[in-house]
Structure formats: C-alpha cells, structure tokens
Structure 1
Amino acid sequence: MKKFRLLAVTAVLLFSLNVVAQEKQEVSKPFRGAIAVKKIYKVVYQLNTEDDKKIAATLKNINNALQDPRLAGKLKVELVVHGGGVVAFKKGSAYEQQLLELQKKGVLLAQCENTLKERNIEKDELYSFISFVPSGNGELIIRQSEGWAILHP
C-alpha cells in the first residue's frame, strides 16, 4: 500500500511539473499569428459604398494583405465593386493611381454591370483597366462557393 501511495504521489508530481513547464513555455513564446501552409489563398474584397474613408480603408487592407510576408506569392485578390463603390472606378476619381498599382500587383478589379445599368453609367466613364462582371452579388456567390474568403471592410 505504501508503494502504491508513493507511486501515485510521484505520478501526480511529475504530471504537475510537466503542466507547469508547458505553461511557462507557452507564456515565453509569443503568438506570431497563423502559419500560411497552403500554396494559394484567395480573397475577394467587396466595395459597395461611396464613403471615401471606406474606399481608402479597403484599398489599404488589400495592400496590407499583399505585403504580409506569410502570403507572399500565395495570394489571389479580387476587388468587386457594386452600388456606391462605383465612384472609385470612375475616371477622375482620387483612386486611379492606387488602383493601377493594385492591378500591377495582380489584383482583379471587377465592376458590377447591374450597377452601371441601374445608375445609367456607361463603361467608358470608368477607367479603361477595369473589368466587368454581370452582377457583383453573383461574383461574390461564385467566388465564395469556390472557397474564396469574402472581406467587406
């Protein structure tokens, strides 16, 4: 009986020391974020507002993702614009240079054709480097079903 108690106490002590050691290791090792183990990550950013702050934030968020070293060479990005967001793609907007830079980095820039019809906007009123999709919502639905992350900053 004494041997059993001694064995039980020893087991409890060893287990306790192991738990304390693990806790100390976890505390001393700061969290550095998720590890990008996939070959490709796909994301669609949705822009449907004419609010300058939200447009600027969306473009900044895309750039931030493109600059994340974990995603370097692994990221496919599409910006889907519909509704009020069309102002970002209109010729003369303050975003031309930023959009061109994003496109050079491989970002797909897609404008919803339904928005153009509803707002009586001709395609030639938009920057020539913009692509078109029949509907912004349809694009989001298809991309999401293909496994793309959908972000709406």
Structure 2
Amino acid sequence: MHRTVVHLNEAGPSKIQAVLQNLTNLYTALGPDLRVELVAHGPGIAVATDPAGELLTGLLESGLQLCVCQNTLTTRGLTPERIHPQATVVPSGVAQLVIRQSEGWSYLHP
C-alpha cells in the first residue's frame, strides 16, 4: 500500500486546481492501493471552504481524506460548518504532516 500526505498551504485557484490534478494523476498511476491525505492549513484552507467542484468530489469518492487545520479555522474565525462536509478537522496541520511522515508516509508538496 502506498501512503502519501500532501501539503497545501496556498489558496490561489490555479494552485488548488494543480494540486487536485496531481492527486488525480497519482490515483490513476497507483490505483486502489493508495491512501492519500490532503492536509490544508493557512491559505490552503480555501480548498475546503470554497470546494473545487467536480475534481475534489471525484477525489473524495476515490478515497482522498481532506484534513483541515483547527488552528487555521480558529485564526480565521471559521466554524466546522463552513468547511466541506467530508473534511476532517485535525488539531494542527503542520503537526499532522509531521505525524504522517514519522509513520513512514511519503510527503508531497506540489
């Protein structure tokens, strides 16, 4: 099984689309034997507050786990109701990245 944690801390629509396209390509190349967490914090939280449409929906249906940072939600005054319903709130986005890497997950920061 391949396990990859993907780091998103930028909010530009073209950046979000590029990251989601990279994830689509990853699922295409590695198939069902893939587990991916997209960890969004800081400006990258935009992927969960202004969902990127069909591409994000398709990835979530493929098994993508969308993780958003509680610290960012707090700093920006966002409640969990304002984020994508399939997102999981983690206490700290950067800590989630460190935890996954210490567990042997591959790290990707496109």
TM over 0.5: yes
Map of 2:44 onto structure 1: 85
Map of 2:77 onto structure 1: 120
Extract unaligned runs of 5+ from structure 2: none
* TM-score, structure 2 normalization: 0.94
Q: For 1:114 and 1:96, how far apart are their aligned partners in 2? A: 25
Map of 2:55 onto structure 1: 98
- Percentage of matched positions with identical amino acids: 38
Q: Structure 1: which amino acid aligns with 2:58? A: E
Q: Structure 2: which amino acid aligns with 1:65? A: L
Q: Structure 1: which amino acid aligns with 2:23? A: I
C-alpha contact 1:89 1:96 (8 A) present in aligned 2: no
- Which is higher, the Rg of structure 1 or of structure 2? 1
Aligned length: 110
Asked if residue 62 in structure 1 is aligned to residue 19 in structure 2, the reply is: no
Task: Kindly indicate which of the two structures has a greater share of residues assigned to helix.
Answer: 1
C-alpha contact 2:41 2:69 (8 A) present in aligned 1: yes
**Equivalences for residues 2-151 of structure 1 within 5 A:** 40-68=1-29, 71-90=30-49, 93=50, 95-151=52-108
Extract unaligned runs of 5+ from structure 1: 1-39
* TM-score, structure 1 normalization: 0.69
Which one has more relative contact order, counting CA pairs under 8 Å at least 6 apart?
A: 2
The Cα of 1:98 is off from its aligned counterpart by 2.1
User: 1:65-110 deviations in whole A, cap 9, x for unaligned?
Assistant: 0001xx22221111000000111111xx251332221111011111
Q: In angstroms, what is the RMSD of aligned CA positions?
A: 1.1
Task: Kindly indicate which of the two structures has a greater share of residues assigned to strand.
Answer: 2
